[in-house]
Copies of this chain bind each other. A is one copy, B any other.
Amino acid sequence: MKAGYKVWLDNRGKAFGDGPYELLRRVDETQSLHRAAKEMGMAYSKAWRLIGAMEKRLGFPLIERQVGGLSGGGSRVTLRGKALMKRYKQFQKAVNTSVEKIYRAHFENNKLFK
């Protein structure tokens, strides 16, 4: 037995979570929302809608598109998006550590699951 959990940021709906984090991480890596979505087996249109919904609830842009140039354009994670990613990851790790600790305090060393 162990604790299961899911965590996200909420502003009248999901504003950020593990899925968007993973998508942004791949955008940052590939500089392309197309490639990031493809890597996650997600339709580009769905990835685009997801980013749009998050941006609306967060109140700031996560991605900036770069049009043209030698590379033919692409997408970049904004500075604020990167700051959010960093902070969210720290938040998520702290929650993970805490939930496991609380689980042990409540469910280990008792006879409930034996």
Contacts and interface: CB of A to CB of B under 8 A. Distances in A.
A4 interface: yes
Contacts of A9: 1-4, 107
Interface residues of A, number: 33
B7 A1 contact: no
Interface of A: 1-11, 14-15, 58-59, 80, 83-84, 87, 90-91, 94-95, 98-99, 102-103, 105-107, 110, 112-113
Contact of A91 (B11, B58, B107): B107
Copies in the complex: 2
Given A1-B9, A4-B7, A98-B99, 10 more contacts: A1-B10, A1-B11, A5-B7, A6-B7, A9-B107, A80-B112, A87-B110, A91-B106, A95-B102, A98-B102
A5 B84 CA distance: 18
19 contacts: A1-B11, A2-B10, A3-B8, A3-B91, A4-B9, A5-B6, A5-B7, A6-B6, A6-B7, A58-B113, A80-B112, A87-B110, A87-B112, A90-B106, A91-B106, A91-B107, A94-B105, A95-B98, A95-B99
